[in-house]
Amino acid sequence: MKSLFLFNKGQRNGILLLLILIISSLIFYHFIDLSDEEVLNLNSPEILALQKELDSLHLAHAEDKKPKIFPFNPNFLTDYRGYSLGMSNEEIDRLLAFRGKGNWVNSPEDFQKATGVSDSLLSVLKPYLKFPDFKRNTTSAKSAFPSEILTHSEKIDLNLATEDQLREIRGIGEVLSKRIISFRDRLGGFSHENQLYAVYGLDSLVIQRALQRFAVKTPKEIQRMNINTASASDISTIPGISFDQAKKIWEFRKLRGRISDLEELLKIEEISEFKFRVIQLYLFAE
């Protein structure tokens, strides 16, 4: 044991220095306050503004994650689209059964009656409901037409109508009258009154007014195409149908294999009821 406590001078000096360092550290730790005197104030205006900004970013992110709702026609609602809108299977089945009887949904009230959706869901979907114009405008259209009803023989042939005669219709001015004549010239003559729906900028209500005075009496023959064999380029030759729309019609047919009824095209979002009136003049399903 004695040998364990025998140190030379250098070792004794080292031990003494170590003891001094240990004691100095203990005194320093005990008497010196090393804590940060500046305490973070969570209620400061800067912190509150930052927290508010973070909350708004979280809300924006949550909104972005929600499924987007686009305007839709409930008369052509699919199972998947109805499910994505928050409708139950029973509500979708009721709507499909309602449409299967040949009935049309013409208002938000009709939509709720046909489906049985709750008031809360209806209030969410109501701004996005889109109905056929020719159904919605039935009442207003009748009041806008003159009381005098012309027979077919009394009407002016649309293929012979002049710009001045067209401008007599309320809603058709100089620009639209020239556009109708120019469109007629490109066709080589109208084949059917529904071709007016392909004239850019011509409102459906104005067309209905025009057809009180005009009719196609000398129709040009149309070479109709089979939708199940026509190419996208063929379909794009239909007046008022762009190549992109023609391609979507062609892709729709390819996905289904074949189309047995042209009304199936109404399920394509870009094909409105009025555009369909023009399409069915040039296509048939076989």
The DSSP annotation for 62-119 comes to HHHHSPP---B-GGG--HHHHHHTT--HHHHHHHHHHHHTT----SHHHHHHHH---H
The CATH fold of domain 225-284 = DNA polymerase; domain 1 (1.10.150)
Helix (H, G, I), strand (E, B) or coil at 157: strand
Q: Indicate whether 146 pLDDT > 60.
A: no
Range with the poorest average pLDDT among 16-25, 57-66, 114-123:
57-66
How many angstroms separate the Cα of 128 from the Cα of each of 35, 123, 223, 274? Answer: 60, 10, 38, 20
Structure-token pair, residue 263: 């009304």
pLDDT in tens, 149-187: 788 888 999 999 999 999 999 889 999 999 999 999 988
CATH architecture of the domain formed by 138-215: Orthogonal Bundle (1.10)
pLDDT of residue 63: 60
pLDDT in tens, 252-279: 888 888 888 888 888 888 788 778 888 8
Higher pLDDT, 107 or 60: 107
pLDDT of residue 50: 80
Averaged pLDDT score across all residues of the chain: 81
pLDDT in tens, 18-39: 889 898 888 877 777 655 555 5
pLDDT in tens, 182-211: 999 988 899 888 889 888 888 888 888 898
pLDDT of residue 180: 93
Judge whether 138-215 and 225-284 match in fold. Answer: yes
pLDDT of residue 260: 86
What pLDDT band is residue 140 in, cutting at 50, 70 and 90? very low
- CA 176/CA 192 separation, integer angstroms: 18
Contacts of 68 (CB under 8 A, 6+ apart): none
Structure-token pair, residue 76: 């052509």
Q: Indicate whether 138 pLDDT > 60.
A: no
Domains of the chain, by residue range, sit at 74-131, 138-215, 225-284
Give the CB-side neighbour count of residue 113, counting CA atoms within 13 A. Answer: 10
CA proximity to 166, closest of 191, 133, 190, 132: 190
| Region of residue 130 (phi > 0: left; psi between -120 and 50: alpha; otherwise: beta) | beta
